[in-house]
């Protein structure tokens, strides 16, 4: 069975430095019409888990009703959150505990100053409060930390904090490269990424809680194990577009539609999923050809970099010399 990552909204109650502009542009919420189609057709497409993201998914005007419908239809659900609304939201999760598999809180620094520098004053304490509620009410939770130049030195402390707080684990993920993140001094160079990855793999062996990394880390094999490319995960954006992945869908620009398989206002979920499978087959075939022709570079071993370039998702990046990032 697969899971469907659903961007419920691109509205957010924070404005984080490292987030794609499109992710908090406040231009729309996913309609209940599309949600209803997903619930009707999802299981027939092999989907049994819905994972909500955003924006901040909990500020969707009909979030409680969406949770109710999801549970009534027999799906499991989880979501990512900045924790701001959680003290008011947890009774809903208690009511639907049997269908709720966990919340992942975005925590981008082990200390308050680091996190708040990226996400805004007071946001760290809201995450701590939300985690405390989860412990008190026995609700499953984990942390996710986006790696930047500002927090890379706190990886070890983040794992220790997750252990102390009773988290179910912590996942690290590389910042998606954009011209904006580079201008803000947030990007790690390829070498710095490799170094912090090595530290995370070491911590994974000794930590008392699960430690992992989101797709995007350096892979010796060109054919990186990525859930969408293994057909284990689909992504739906707030407009109703089924896209290749939730990270790439946040990139806009001249080629913003290159990863769109279909809009659920216009096609069935089954048709969009079939287009998804065909697109993945084409993607993998193209990558095989690149590798066989010796056109797969060292930087292309960072899978998200390869995908952004392959799809032309950031204006100017596809033709930009790869050493540019290396010097960032």
pLDDT digits (tens, 9 = 90+) for 223-270: 888 999 999 999 999 999 999 887 776 665 545 678 899 999 999 999
Mean pLDDT on 173-200: 89
Q: Which two tokens stand for residue 183?
A: 């201008």
Separation CA 200–CA 212 (nearest Å): 7
Q: What is the pLDDT of residue 15?
A: 81
Q: Which residue has the tokens 């896209």?
A: 243
Checking if the pLDDT of 313 tops 80, the result is: no
Residue 38 CB burial class (10 angstroms; 0-12, 13-18, ≥19): buried
148 CB-near residues (< 8 Å, 6+ apart): 18, 108, 118, 175, 181, 186, 187, 188
H or E element in which residue 105 lies: strand 100-106
Residues in the chain, overall count: 328
Q: What is the pLDDT of residue 97?
A: 97
Checking if the pLDDT of 24 tops 90, the result is: no
Entry pTM: 0.92
Q: What is the pLDDT of residue 328?
A: 39
Mean pLDDT on 265-293: 95
Of 55-69, 156-170, 265-279, 286-300, give the lowest mean pLDDT range.
286-300
Give the start-to-end residue ranges of the domains of the chain.
2-326
Q: What is the pLDDT of residue 28?
A: 87
Mean pLDDT on 83-103: 97
Mean pLDDT on 300-309: 88
Mean pLDDT on 98-108: 98
Checking if the pLDDT of 157 tops 90, the result is: yes
Q: What is the pLDDT of residue 21?
A: 64
Checking if the pLDDT of 314 tops 70, the result is: no
Work out whether strand 141-147 and strand 170-174 pair parallel, antiparallel, or are unpaired. parallel
Q: What is the pLDDT of residue 253?
A: 52
Q: What is the pLDDT of residue 63?
A: 97
Confidence band of 177 (pLDDT split at 50, 70, 90): confident
Mean pLDDT on 131-141: 98
Backbone angles phi, psi at 78, to 5 degrees: -150, 175
Whether the Cβ atoms of residue 59 and residue 85 lie closer than 8 Å to each other: yes
119 CB-near residues (< 8 Å, 6+ apart): 14, 16, 17, 82, 106, 108
Average pLDDT, the chain: 90
Separation CA 103–CA 78 (nearest Å): 6
Q: What is the pLDDT of residue 132?
A: 97
Task: Give the CATH fold of the 2-326 domain.
Answer: TIM Barrel (3.20.20)
């Amino acid at each position: 069975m697969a899971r469907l990552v659903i961007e419920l909204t691109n509205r957010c109650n924070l404005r984080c430095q490292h987030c794609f502009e499109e992710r908090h542009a406040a231009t729309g919420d996913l309609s209940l019409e599309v949600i209803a189609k997903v619930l009707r057709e999802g299981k027939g497409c092999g989907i049994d888990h819905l994972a909500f993201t955003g924006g901040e998914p909990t500020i969707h005007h009909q979030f409680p009703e969406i949770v109710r419908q999801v549970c009534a239809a027999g799906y499991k659900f989880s979501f990512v959150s900045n924790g701001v609304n959680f003290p008011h939201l947890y009774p809903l999760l208690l009511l639907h505990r049997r269908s709720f598999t966990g919340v992942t809180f975005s925590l981008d620094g082990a200390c308050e100053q680091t996190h708040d520098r990226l996400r805004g004053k007071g946001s760290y304490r809201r995450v701590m409060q939300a985690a405390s509620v989860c412990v008190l009410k026995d609700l499953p939770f984990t942390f996710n930390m986006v790696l930047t130049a500002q927090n890379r030195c706190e990886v070890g402390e983040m794992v220790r904090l997750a252990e102390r707080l009773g988290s179910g684990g912590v996942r690290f993920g590389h910042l998606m490269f954009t011209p904006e993140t580079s201008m803000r001094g947030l990007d790690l160079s390829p070498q710095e990424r490799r170094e912090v990855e090595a530290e995370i793999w070491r911590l994974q062996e000794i930590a008392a809680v699960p430690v992992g990394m989101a797709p995007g880390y350096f892979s010796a094999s060109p054919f990186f194990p990525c859930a969408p490319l293994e057909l284990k995960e689909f992504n739906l954006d707030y407009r109703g577009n089924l896209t290749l992945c939730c990270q790439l869908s946040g990139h806009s620009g001249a080629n913003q539609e290159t990863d769109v398989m279909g809009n659920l206002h216009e096609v069935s979920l089954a048709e969009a999923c079939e287009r998804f499978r065909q697109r993945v087959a084409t993607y993998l075939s193209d990558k095989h050809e690149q590798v066989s022709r010796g056109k797969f570079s060292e930087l292309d071993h960072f899978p998200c970099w390869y995908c952004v370039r392959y799809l032309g998702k950031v204006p100017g990046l596809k033709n930009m010399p790869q050493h540019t990032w290396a010097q960032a």
